[in-house]
């Protein structure tokens, strides 16, 4: 999967992840959510291909990107809440 496709999939994955993990008190807006989705897509794409779970161009890459985006959004929300509580 090329870099452009990873960015596009990350954008879509960020939006999907925000719908899966909504929250009124979430500290992230649309732009930050999509940026975190792109980061999650890059990480998931790299790890999935490095571990041999899927090859470039397979449909599992989209699923991995969405899961990666959810993980990154969840981690960000936990860090943001912890900082807000201090």
Query: In this predicted model, which residue has the larger pLDDT, 52 or 13?
Result: 52
Quick check: helix, strand or coil at residue 13?
helix
The pTM (predicted TM-score) of the whole model is: 0.70
Q: Is-contact 41 68, C-beta < 8 A? A: yes
pLDDT of residue 29: 74
Mean pLDDT for 17-33 is 68
- Angle (CA) 68-83-86 rounded to 5° is 155
pLDDT of residue 86: 46
pLDDT of residue 42: 85
């Amino acid at each position: 999967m090329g870099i452009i496709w990873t960015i596009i999939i990350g954008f879509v994955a960020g939006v999907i992840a925000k719908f899966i993990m909504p929250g009124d008190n979430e500290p992230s807006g649309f732009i930050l959510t999509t940026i975190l989705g792109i980061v999650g897509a890059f990480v998931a794409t790299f790890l999935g291909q490095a571990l041999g779970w899927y090859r470039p161009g397979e449909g599992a890459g989209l699923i991995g990107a969405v899961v990666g985006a959810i993980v990154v959004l969840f981690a960000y929300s936990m860090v943001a809440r912890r900082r807000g509580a201090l």
